[in-house]
């Protein structure tokens, strides 16, 4: 949808939930296009919406007290059987304006924020966060306590992108527009931001990003936590280390077996 046919308000939130518009889309040449007008429209909703009480019931009596208070247009999204989403009871929430494809499984407690896109058959495990405008592909496993960061501002900034078939390990943090390629594996405990260096032990190169062009992890890469010596004489004397990522191999049959989920869990 072009700039001349922008959606606003409830119409935008409905279109986002149906997956008809997305904050970022593949460009067909291996890259992604960010649709800044959608981010601007979401920010406009925040500015224009009043704070209102909300909760599990539609009406509140007595003093008007409600368990939650938030922007009136950005409440909790409701699902029907037709959506094909499995949302397990236990403290999870999906905010209005987030798309969850058919077959997505949400284990409690987890949270998906406005503008996010989650593809079909993805597993979102306990204590995981899918941040505002994050783009998560189909068949992805977002493990327990993983944090897929949100990027609303500036509107032109690339959101965090996790492509189809990727595996995001427990306690992983992906922030500031990091892109994880198709079927890549990010091992437990890895934290990546736009400028985190990742040392590719296979190609003997260093992968780096900037705020303007965030870090990209190649498809089918396996990245584990690593450290590198801190610079400076004092840091060297103290033996200080800084966190980094280590790309140790390309995904193989052994990796597939280690990251495979029992199919029954996705039904």
The tens digit of pLDDT for each residue in 52-72 reads 887 655 554 555 666 788 888
CA dist 113 and 118 (Å) reads 11
Residue 114, Cβ density class (10 Å: 0-12 exposed, 13-18 middle, ≥19 buried): buried
Superfamily of domain 3-51+74-258 in CATH is: Hexapeptide repeat proteins (2.160.10.10)
The mean per-residue pLDDT over the stretch 137-146 comes to: 98
Residue 5 scores a pLDDT above 60: no
Specify the pTM: 0.92
Q: Under a CB-based contact definition with an 8 Å cutoff, are residues 242 and 225 in contact?
A: no
Per-residue pLDDT band at 158 (split at 50, 70, 90): very high
Q: What percent of the chain has pLDDT over 90?
A: 79
Residue 257 scores a pLDDT above 80: no
pLDDT at position 4 is: 43
The residue ranges of every structural domain in the chain are 3-51+74-258
Count CB neighbours of 18 within 10 A. Answer: 10
Per-residue pLDDT band at 262 (split at 50, 70, 90): low
Q: Which residues 6+ apart lie within 8 Å of 229 measured at CB? A: 235, 236, 240, 241, 242
The tens digit of pLDDT for each residue in 212-227 reads 899 999 999 999 999 9
Helix (H, G, I), strand (E, B) or coil at 129: strand
The tens digit of pLDDT for each residue in 25-52 reads 999 999 999 999 999 999 999 999 988 8
């Amino acid at each position: 949808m072009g700039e001349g046919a922008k959606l606003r308000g409830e119409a935008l939130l409905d279109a986002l939930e149906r997956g008809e518009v997305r904050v970022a889309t593949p460009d067909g040449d291996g890259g992604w296009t960010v649709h800044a007008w959608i981010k601007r429209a979401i920010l406009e909703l925040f500015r224009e919406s009043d704070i209102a009480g909300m909760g599990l019931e539609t009406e509140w009596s007595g003093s008007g007290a409600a368990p939650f208070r938030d922007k009136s247009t950005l409440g909790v999204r409701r699902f029907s059987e037709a959506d094909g989403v499995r949302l397990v009871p236990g403290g999870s929430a999906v905010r209005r304006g987030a798309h969850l494809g058919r077959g997505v499984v949400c284990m409690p407690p987890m949270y998906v924020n406005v503008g996010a896109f989650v593809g079909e058959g993805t597993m979102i495990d306990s204590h995981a966060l899918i941040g505002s405008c994050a783009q998560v592909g189909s068949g992805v496993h977002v493990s327990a306590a993983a944090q897929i960061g949100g990027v609303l501002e500036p509107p032109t900034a690339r959101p965090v992108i996790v492509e189809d078939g990727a595996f995001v390990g427990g306690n992983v943090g992906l922030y500031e527009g990091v892109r994880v390629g198709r079927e890549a594996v990010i091992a437990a405990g890895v934290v990546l931001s736009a400028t985190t260096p990742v040392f590719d032990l296979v190609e003997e190169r260093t992968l780096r990003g900037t705020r303007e062009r965030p870090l990209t992890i190649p498809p089918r890469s396996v990245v584990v936590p690593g450290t590198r010596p801190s610079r400076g004489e004092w840091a060297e004397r103290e033996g200080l280390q800084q966190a980094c990522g280590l790309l140790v191999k390309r995904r193989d049959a052994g990796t597939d077996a280690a990251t495979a989920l029992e199919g029954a869990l996705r039904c």
